[in-house]
Amino acid sequence: MTAALRRQVSPLFGLTLGGTFAASGLAMLVCAAVGFAYGQDGIAFALPGVVTTALGLALVWAAIDPDQRNMTVTPVSGLLAVTLAWVLASVTGVAPLLASGAFDSPLDAYFESVSGFTTTGATLLNDIEAQSQAVLLWRSVMQWLGGVGIVVLVVAIAPISGPGIQKAFYAETSSVTSDRLTPRIIDTAKIIAGIYLVLSLVAGTAYLAAGMGPFDAINHSMTTIATGGFSTRTASIGAFDSVAIEIVAIIFMIVGGINFAFYWRAIRGKGLRPQLTEVLGFLAFLFGISAAVGVSLWLAGDAVGFGRTLLDSIFSVTTIITTTGFTTADFDSWNSFARTAILMTMFIGACAGSTAGGIKVIRVMLLGKASFQELQRQIRPNAVRVLRIGSHVYREDVRRAVLGFFLIYMIVYGFGVLAMAAGGLDPLTAFSAASATLNMVGPGIGEVGALESYEALSSFNRAVACVLMIAGRLEVFTVVALLAAAWERMNSVRAAY
């Protein structure tokens, strides 16, 4: 590798991947300490933790060069770095899951690790209570690291700048217009990480106050704010049989689904727009769909009392729209309208700039507004239409980007459904499994229903699910853009010969 190429690539990849390994390794060491404390699986986490941490620190040390602190890296390099970070972070999660005996198959362990880091919450474990405390904590920590975005944590301390690191950062923060909280990306990353930590601590305290034990409260606070959905119980939140705990979960799932920029503006006492419009839209979707599902349950005779039905409806819709994946009720046994509403809600997602997956509310609102304007243009072709949501006017390039995103998103989803069906799943489960993994929801409909694990999936389908989960976490565009860049590179090489 030439000196010029090393200056171009080494700092970005070394710091991003090295920071990812170091964060993962240190988290394993924390889980190892818990394992030793409980007398279970300590060594299964200690050895991988030491190796992963050492590798990460070595990469970071090799990448740091005081003369290159402000060097520029290309956008494609940024996209590649963040994609590799997610793929390799999930690889690091495999070793302790295999060493602890939680899984026998490397593919199954990788599936669980990908599901954790991408905050999907799909699991292959049928008896979660049978796992050691170290394994349970590791599953939660993976989701907590993945919720805010591993690369966001790395960017907070990375001594590099330029469009490449910006691409890496925005690939993780799911913004429509890439608004910054501060002029510097590093400061923005620090603010997001700080808000994330505070919200996690508040959620843990709330769970404790609601009656959870300390270990359960710590785990569920991490997976709630991360909108991940891994639980320490096979029956998820429903296992606690506590209305107070369910209400706390609803509140903090909503909190995790709101744009972090909204919190920063509120803290600083600045105007809450344009995030306020999206937050109100998010709440309108949430409570509107909850009301529709609740009414359908009542009319279909599926209601189990007004209060319980209302709470189950709100909880289930909240956990789906925020792509968290906790469960208290078997929504797969509900009537056709309610199940269809749940399936469609998977695509909406929560707010851009949150920890949730899905298309995101602001994009859904922009798609609706753009479609309505196209209908109006058929009636008044010469009228000038401005794309506006609330008081915020969006540029024409935003319109094109949102429409392009939606098209590519649905194409990837279509291929995902076909791949799931090719692996032997029935049509309903194929549609549901692809929806639940691409949108990072976890529980779905059919053989991957609310009270089921993903054990029904074949090895081929599990591999497909891993691809969809990573693509969904990177909002599809990142992965597709890399494929497009690779195709362009191949064509240029072919033309040269």
Quick: pLDDT tens for 125-171: 999 999 999 999 999 999 999 988 765 655 555 545 444 455 555 55
What pLDDT is attached to residue 203? 98
| Number of domains, the chain | 2
Q: Considering the domain boundaries, does residue 420 fall inside one?
A: no
Q: How many residues does the chain have?
A: 497
Mean of per-residue pLDDT scores for the chain: 86
187, amino acid identity: D
Q: Please tell me whether residues 12 and 150 are part of one structural domain.
A: yes
Q: Please tell me whether residues 293 and 396 are part of one structural domain.
A: yes
Q: Please tell me whether residues 139 and 272 are part of one structural domain.
A: no
Q: Please tell me whether residues 143 and 12 are part of one structural domain.
A: yes
Q: Please tell me whether residues 158 and 272 are part of one structural domain.
A: no
Q: Please tell me whether residues 129 and 272 are part of one structural domain.
A: no
Q: Considering the domain boundaries, does residue 65 fall inside one?
A: yes
Q: Considering the domain boundaries, does residue 180 fall inside one?
A: no
Q: Considering the domain boundaries, does residue 312 fall inside one?
A: yes
Q: Considering the domain boundaries, does residue 344 fall inside one?
A: yes
Q: Considering the domain boundaries, does residue 98 fall inside one?
A: yes
Q: Please tell me whether residues 20 and 165 are part of one structural domain.
A: yes
What pLDDT is attached to residue 432? 96
Q: Please tell me whether residues 272 and 162 are part of one structural domain.
A: no
Tokens of 188: 């923005």
Q: Please tell me whether residues 136 and 276 are part of one structural domain.
A: no
What pLDDT is attached to residue 364? 93
pLDDT at 187 over 80: no
Whole-model pTM over 0.85: yes
Q: Considering the domain boundaries, does residue 217 fall inside one?
A: no
Instruction: Tell me whether the omega of the peptide bond preceding residue 274 falls within 30 degrees of 0, making it cis.
Output: yes
- Which of 139, 173, 207 is at the close of a domain? 173
Q: Please tell me whether residues 28 and 162 are part of one structural domain.
A: yes
Domain that holds residue 320: 264-407
What pLDDT is attached to residue 482? 77
Q: What is the pLDDT of residues 274-316, one digit of tens each?
A: 688 899 999 999 999 999 999 999 998 877 888 999 999 999 9
Q: Considering the domain boundaries, does residue 449 fall inside one?
A: no
What region does 227 belong to: left with phi over 0, alpha with psi -120 to 50, or beta?
left
- Which of 377, 407, 437 is at the close of a domain? 407
Q: CA 486: distance to chain centroid?
A: 25
- Which of 152, 173, 194 is at the close of a domain? 173
pLDDT at 460 over 70: yes
Of the spans 16-20, 168-172, 195-199, 492-496, which averages the highest pLDDT?
Answer: 195-199
CA distance 325 to 226: 11
Q: What is the pLDDT of residues 335-361, one digit of tens each?
A: 999 999 999 999 999 998 888 999 999
Residues contacting 21, CB < 8 A, separation 6+: 52, 53, 55, 56, 59, 88, 89, 92
Q: Please tell me whether residues 19 and 124 are part of one structural domain.
A: yes
